[in-house]
Structure 1
């Protein structure tokens, strides 16, 4: 199936204002915890993520009709950016999942060329629950967890796909999985992913992400070797321990409690603090020498911006590119089939600064040179 350009591009636009709220404050999701996240000082980011995507197509805005909901669900941002806007749903001040579904229901009455939405896996589920199988959709990643294959690899990447469509390129469409997990179990360290169905998305592997590979790494010997090398790299500085089973192997080797789906802080091989928020990390690392140990999401290649939003741009700059230590098995790297590692920190300039080749720890005294190179920022 091929995408064919029309003279006036009709863009359905939905922003979930609550998406991603739980990430920076360590709640590992936003479903049903928005009020808690806001009370902890979380700031809405989804409109900024959508703005990054739409910035790519600003030169084409006169050719785009944005069909959306009122206020923070789309209208405010689209008008601020100078797009031609038509509102088909009056959103309440405090939005919920049913509002996303109601907007989609209204958009079904329009002849859309693309439905662009900003959110996470919960938002994708809400869109899927109502969307017609024949409507092409594309997500702008703004949530804490992005397992689904319906999102761009970064907000800018989503914008690049939209630009291709506006320029009349023949973009194939494919079915991609809508995935989500049980967030209550997720917060206790248990990942239970489930496929809820499929939606039609532009088939652009440079810009649209793969479905996340679930499950733990099974080669315990390899993980033990990686952990041994990581421990040798530790000196007297603070070590920020990112999320994921590969990094968790380091904590296990040290005999320390680990937040599998959170961020911990250690020094001199001792645990200083667990499951930290972005604000807590900045406070504890102020005026300190810091290293960051992280791994990649299997199948996707993201090392920042997926499940570890506690690692804020300010913290990453404090750590510095040379003090970022990437741990990964060769199996995970080979599964990327040559695709680069991805950083999606929320700060496009920082993402550019972080590109380049890194020595990835793949075993004891064993390294692989691997590239971080967001294709959409090239």
Structure 2
């Protein structure tokens, strides 16, 4: 049985306070807004999003911060959750949002759902690594950032899709904000701060629309380019078997063992068609990562044709150092069935289960469930 979807919740209770009282934002004016009679909107907006998710609540492991940061709302909705952050101050701040975001990422959230505005999106960008998926529930006065659902219920619908175990694309979306002081004086001055990885509705049609084998070759080249660009220096990469991973070797200009496992470091081939013991020995020489793909039609990532990737090796590498490469065509052919791991170690298979980020093109990713044969 696969691991549950892990969902982190953040509510910025100050988001949107300035809107109803014509303060054109909430940054730095929360107390003034409250004094003018403003009511917090973020909990209500997050509640609307979560109502779309509640039918699948048992498929989810929940975590949030105590009190107004999310605990009060989840308790109101009768959701069991793990509290990963507590603020000892009576009012929350940007520091609390950032601290909670970091705590949720360390907890292992597959997705962090946050309610706020552009200031909250900036906090998320500053706190999270580029690998962490997040999605905003619009609750601020100004929403210039592209990291939010078009509505709270739209954001909830995407989360529900993930909770059902369906494939969801990941895309990079801009975090934007404006200078509120200038805005209150009638000047709109927007600035791009960075990007967050956010889930989006999956586009099943490949980016290159040409048809036939030529499409597959172009898509594989895109996947390989993204994989190579992501490679860290002074790190050994194990390149698993299969035509998708072979494209990475082609991109590097190196000889490839199609049905074996090769090792690459700093663009150089350091081992070909390696055995399980040879691979394990390389892990003692420095940091190592693995590129692997799935068997078309079956969906197996481990345990079919790549037994060199032993349970001991996988444990040594760690889940976060395993990167799956696949075309969306292969994933779509699974008809919403999860990817499979059959390493020979049932406990390890259970530990590997859950959502994983898959490279499906250049700057193109999806989130897809990984399970085990049980």
Q: TM-score range by the shorter chain?
A: 0.5 to 0.7
The whole-number CA distance in structure 2 between the counterparts of 1:27 and 1:95 is: 19
Contact kept? 2:13, 2:42, Cα under 8 Å: yes
Q: How does 1:322-361 map to 2 (within 5 A)?
A: none
Q: Are 1:185 and 2:182 counterparts?
A: yes
User: Is residue 57 of structure 1 aligned with residue 53 of structure 2?
Assistant: yes
**Aligned equivalents of 1:79, 1:35: Cα separation in 2:** 26
Q: Deviations over 1:310-339 (max 9, x none)?
A: xxxxxxxxxxxxxxxxxxxxxxxxxxxxxx
- Is the Cα–Cα contact under 8 Å of residues 147 and 179 in structure 1 kept in the other structure? yes
Going from structure 1 to structure 2, the CA distance change for 1:198 and 1:6 (only over 3 Å counts) comes to farther
Residue 106 of structure 2 aligns to a residue whose secondary structure is: coil
| Structure 1 pair 189–81 and aligned structure 2 pair: CA distance change class (3 A) | same
Q: How many residues align?
A: 202
Cα shift readout 1:282-341 (whole Å, capped 9, x = no counterpart): xxxxxxxxxxxxxxxxxxxxxxxxxxxxxxxxxxxxxxxxxxxxxxxxxxxxxxxxxxxx
Superposed displacement of residue 7, structure 1: 3.1
Distance in 2, matches of 1:133 and 1:76, equals 29
SS of residue in 2 equivalent to 1:191: coil
> Judging changes above 3 Å, is the alpha-carbon distance between structure 1 residues 6 and 160 closer, same or farther for their aligned structure 2 residues?
farther
- Pick the aligned partner of 1:146 from 115, 125, 143: 143
Distance (whole Å) between structure 2 residues aligned to residue 77 and residue 111 of structure 1: 21
Cα distance, 1:205 vs structure 2:
8.5
The partner residue of 2:110 within 109, 113, 118 is 113
> In the alignment, which residue of structure 1 is the partner of 2:11?
15
Separation of aligned partners in 1, 2:52 and 2:124:
23
Asked whether the equivalents of residues 16 and 73 of structure 1 are also in contact (C-alpha less than 8 Å), the reply is yes
Moved over 3 A (4+): none
The match for 2:67 is 71
* Aligned equivalent of 1:81: 77
Separation of aligned partners in 2, 1:144 and 1:6? 40
CA contact (8 A) 1:62 1:84 kept: no
Distance change >3 Å, CA 188–CA 122, structure 1 → 2: same
Shift of residue 25, structure 1, vs aligned partner:
0.4
Mapped pair 1:99 → 2:112? no
Aligned match of 1:357: none
What is the rounded CA distance, in whole Å, between the counterparts of 2:2 and 2:85 in structure 1? 25
Equivalent residue number for residue 20 of structure 2: 24
In structure 1, list runs of 5 or more residues that go unmatched: 207-378
Following the alignment from structure 1 to structure 2, what is the Cα–Cα distance between the partners of residues 6 and 89? Answer: 27
Q: Counterpart of 1:84 in 2: which secondary structure?
A: coil
Give the match's secondary structure for 1:48. helix
Q: Is the 8 A contact 1:65 1:83 kept in 2?
A: no
Provide, for residues 5-50 of structure 1, a one-character-per-residue CA deviation record: whole Å limited to 9, x for no partner.
9531111110000000000000000000001101111011110000
Aligned to 2:161: 164
> Counterparts of 2:40 and 2:10 in 1: how far apart (Å)?
15
Q: 2:36 — aligned with what? A: 40
Q: Report the 3-state secondary structure (helix = DSSP H, G, I; strand = E; otherwise coil) of the residue aligned with 2:159.
A: helix
Q: Does 1:176 align with 2:193?
A: no
Q: Do the aligned residues in 1 keep the contact of 2:59 with 2:164 (CA within 8 Å)?
A: no
RMSD: 1.6
Q: Distance in 1 between matches of 2:93 and 2:135?
A: 20
Calculate the TM-score normalised by the size of structure 2: 0.53
